[in-house]
Amino acid sequence: MGNPPRIAIDAMGGDTGPAVIVAGAARAYRRRSDICFTLFGDEAQIRVELAKYPDMSAVVEIVHGDDVIAGSEKPSQALRRAKTSSMGRAIGSVKSGAADAALSAGNTGAMMAMAKLALRTMPGIDRPALAALLPTLGDNDLVMLDLGANTESNTQNLVQFALMGAAYARVVLDLPLPRVKLLNIGTEELKGTDTLKDAAAILRDADFLPMRFDGFTEGDKISRGDVDVVVTDGFSGNIALKTAEGTARFVTDLLRRAFTSSLRSKAGFMLSRPALHMLKVHLDPNNHNGAVFLGLNGIVVKSHGSADEIGVANAIRVAARMVREDLTRKIANDLDEFSAHNITVAAAK
Amino acid sequence: MGNPPRIAIDAMGGDTGPAVIVAGAARAYRRRSDICFTLFGDEAQIRVELAKYPDMSAVVEIVHGDDVIAGSEKPSQALRRAKTSSMGRAIGSVKSGAADAALSAGNTGAMMAMAKLALRTMPGIDRPALAALLPTLGDNDLVMLDLGANTESNTQNLVQFALMGAAYARVVLDLPLPRVKLLNIGTEELKGTDTLKDAAAILRDADFLPMRFDGFTEGDKISRGDVDVVVTDGFSGNIALKTAEGTARFVTDLLRRAFTSSLRSKAGFMLSRPALHMLKVHLDPNNHNGAVFLGLNGIVVKSHGSADEIGVANAIRVAARMVREDLTRKIANDLDEFSAHNITVAAAK
């Protein structure tokens, strides 16, 4: 892949519209210029924003269209507009080969449905998964999946999620042998559902893969920094991710109340401000932005709807990195290893 | 129930042994003296601790025994010692009627197994659930259940959990009409598993019960203060509870790092200290201690293994309150209401 990665971007998705999306693209381009963009959406609006970044003109194409998938639309409604909407066309350009990855900050359910239909799951993968990065007390973020692409998962799904999550961690976290654990309600081998116990047994045998499987973890141990990939079904993963986000916000809200409760504590806050800024940066979701759909024949990244330009730039960098390091091929190679070792990880069809 | 509640306590459970348990009992007694205790465990050790609280002598009985269930033991091992262990005998005294409630800070799985076997589930309840209190930004704590008594739950289980959780919230949070929501991966009616959608449909019709069912909530909305009872299956509930605990600890660890990162921020910390103490109190698990097993023919409370004497006293107060307000009867009445309205919430057997 000698050409710079071309990222197809739904310029209309998200809470803020083209302004933040274009600013994010410009920021990603400033950081690393071997990248180019196709922006889908309202051309006039996009041009107004692009005018602020004259250096971008050489690397941006615009594909005009005025159909936008709303955040409240059902996936089934959105699917009907796969060929007209900015989101659908961005994904379609990955399918046609015109772009290397698609990115949107729009409706997650609609995006998943369109991406599945357009790109299909990779051979050997039964169901795609949604993966994201979370902050930890350790040296690197961790990858958690599935975060809600599926509501129920069987043993094969979990094993495939582990394999895809590990490949993603190698690419995006630069870890040659990521530590992988299954999320459970206890760390003892006997804990949890049969689905989890069976998945653990298969992964324990898969020591030929470039990852270290290390059994179970629990909700309160995730962020300690001793695991790089947390694998779970989409229901529990969604609950865990949102509970972590909600609790972080809850604690920082309490902290804000504490600091504003008296003149004295306000003064204390002013003094501690530079140090507290570190805490803010560490927890800021924009610094961990970019959830990815793994297991499709093509790269699709979801930027958070409320991400700022830093967040959008981070999501774009994640997408470009997956293209440059050919994540899809890495996952395919790992699946081949499984077959070579006569371990079946695809469900009978 | 004219007599003061008698609480049977496993004095040997938990990380700290009889010292903290006895101190917690003394603290609960000081706060409200119409209560009495039977302490199960090593009599010599218990007497040493009790000697520190001479006023307790009139309200404490000791039942000596030297068999203690370890934290690492499997429930199946523990069950064999239901008649000899301090935990088993405390629970047994509720069965025999000698005590009104049992409390232990020991092995949760062992406790659940023993309590189920000794007390059996109430008529109309298929499976007991573990419920606990969590802090919120609102005026009161919330009740969450199930937190891991079951790994999988069907529609009937969820409906029964909602009914039991609401009854518990009325008693322990003093809320005449608690707001009840089901934990899901989205708040729209179409989100989630069929199990959840069916449970929501039944609860929506159950407007005759002393609670307000208000649909679905998500992990990031739990602690906002707009729900009093969060109902979920034991797997997701365990994940959510532990993720919330872990994230709160993660953020406060980052905060500690921030405050100790420079002399300036240390000075800021000293100034803000009284205000930050509020934050600590709000988050301290000891102030929300006492998980309860709901749905059994008798009251059983789990104190956190690492609770301090304040935590133990809180757990004891929860147990006494459930006895005084006859929670078991309240649950039975609500189940009768269901039958009177021809809604079946017990699984066919």
By C-alpha distance, the chain A residue nearest B271 is: A268
For residue A67, the number of C-alpha atoms closer than 13 Å in the C-beta half-sphere is 15
Q: What are phi and psi of B180, to 5 degrees?
A: -115, 130
- pLDDT score for A276: 78
Give the pLDDT of residue A324. Answer: 94
B304-322, pLDDT tens digit by residue? Answer: 888 999 999 999 999 999 9
- Domain positions in chain B are 1-121+295-310, 126-294
CB of B182 less than 8 A from some CB of A = no
Range B310-335 average pLDDT: 94
Residue B347 has pLDDT above 80, yes or no: no
Mean pLDDT in residue range B21-36: 96
> Given CB atoms, is A250 within the 8 Å cutoff of chain B?
yes
Whether B258 and chain A come into contact, CB under 8 Å, resolves to yes
Which residue would you say has higher pLDDT here, A125 or B17?
A125
Given a cut of 80, whether residue A84 has pLDDT beyond it is yes
Structure tokens at A344: 């079946």
**Residue B3 pLDDT > 80:** yes
The model's pLDDT over A316-348, given as tens digits with 9 standing for 90+, comes to: 999 999 999 999 999 999 989 888 887 766 554
- Give residue A1's pLDDT: 47
| Tokens coding A308 | 């700022």
- Joined together, the tokens standing for residue B243 give 């993720």
Helices (H), A187-326: 194-205, 234-259, 263-283, 309-324
Average of per-residue pLDDT across B103-111: 93
In terms of average pLDDT, the best of A176-190, A285-299, A325-339, B22-36 is B22-36
**Best of A72, A181, A184, A185 to mutate (most B CBs within 10 Å, chain B):** A185
Residue B307's nearest CA partner among B329, B330, B284, B328 is B284
pLDDT, mean of residues A46-74: 94
Per-residue pLDDT reduced to its tens digit, A205-220: 988 999 999 999 999 9
Task: Identify residue B233 by its one-letter amino acid code.
Answer: D
**Closest listed residue to residue B185, CA positions, set B129, B232, B135:** B232
Closest residue of chain A to B274, computed from CA coordinates: A265
CATH topology of domain B1-121+295-310: Isopropylmalate Dehydrogenase (3.40.718)
Look over chain A and give the mean of its residue pLDDT values, rounded to a whole number. Answer: 91
The rounded percent of chain B whose pLDDT value lies above 70 is 97
- Of the partner residues A185, A245, A250, the one whose CB lies closest to the CB of residue B238: A185
Residue entry with tokens 């695809």: A346
Name the CATH code of domain A1-123+296-325 (choices 3.30.930.10, 3.40.50.300, 3.20.20.370, 3.40.718.10): 3.40.718.10
User: What is the full DSSP assignment across B312-344?
Assistant: HHHHHHHHHHHHHTTHHHHHHHHHHHHHHTT--
Predicted pLDDT of residue A186? 86
Q: Which residue of A has its CA nearest to B72?
A: A188
Question: Which one, of B153, B134, B157, lies nearest residue B144 by Cα?
Answer: B134
Average pLDDT for A83-108: 96
Out of 3.40.190.10, 3.40.718.10, 3.40.1190.20, 1.20.1250.20, which CATH number does the structure's domain B126-294 have? 3.40.718.10
Task: Give B71: exposed, middle or buried? Use CB within 10 Å, 0-12, 13-18, 19+.
Answer: middle
Four-point Cα dihedral B121, B127, B131, B136, nearest 10: -140
Instruction: At B118, list the tokens.
Output: 């000794």
Search chain A and give the residue with CA nearest B262.
A275
Burial (0-12, 13-18, 19+ Cβ within 10 Å), B162: buried
The Cα B27–Cα B52 span in angstroms is 12
Could you report the per-residue pLDDT of B223-245, keeping only the tens digit for each? 899 999 999 999 999 999 999 98
Task: Flag whether residue A276 sits within 8 Å of chain B, measured between CB atoms.
Answer: yes
**Residues in chain B, how many?**
349
Which pLDDT tens digit goes with each residue over B64-77?
Answer: 999 999 988 889 99
Integer Cα distance of A83 and A15 in angstroms:
22
b/e B213-229 (16+ beta carbons within 10 angstroms → b)? bbebbbbbbbbbbebbb
Q: Where are the alpha helices (DSSP H) in A51-106?
A: 75-79, 86-95
pLDDT tens digits for range A275-296:
778 777 777 777 788 899 999 9
ipTM value: 0.86
Q: What is the mean pLDDT of residues B179-207?
A: 92
Nearest CA to CA, how far is A260 from chain B (Å)? 9
pLDDT at position A156, please?
94
Alpha carbons B213 and B163: distance in angstroms, whole number: 10
CB atoms B275 and A262 under 8 Å: yes
- Cα–Cα distance between A93 and A6 in angstroms, integer? 10
Mean pLDDT over the full length of chain B: 91
User: Which residues on adjacent β-strands are paired with residue B88?
Assistant: none
- A221 contact residues in B (CB cutoff 8 A): 242, 246
A148·B185 Cβ contact <8 A: yes
Whole-number Cα distances in Å, B205 to A135, A197, B165, B215: 42, 38, 17, 12
pLDDT at residue B1 in the model: 47
pTM for the full model? 0.89
Q: Which residues of B touch A137 (CB under 8 A)?
A: 250, 253-254
**3-class secondary-structure state, position B237:** helix
Task: Assess whether the region B1-121+295-310 and the region B126-294 belong to the same CATH fold.
Answer: yes
Confirm or reject contact between A268 and chain B (CB < 8 A): yes
Taking the CA atoms of B170, B175, B181 and B183 in sequence, report the sign of the dihedral they define: negative
A156 to chain B, minimum CA–CA distance in Å? 19
What is the spatial distance between Cα A92 and Cα A83, in angstroms, rounded to a whole number?
8
pLDDT, average across residues A64-78: 91
Alpha-carbon gap, residue B155 to B246, rounded angstroms:
29
A200 near A182, Cβ under 8 Å? Answer: yes
Q: Which of residues 49-108 of A touch B (CB under 8 A)?
A: 74
* Residue among B1, B88, B41, B20 nearest B320 (CA): B1
Q: What is the mean pLDDT of residues B10-27?
A: 93
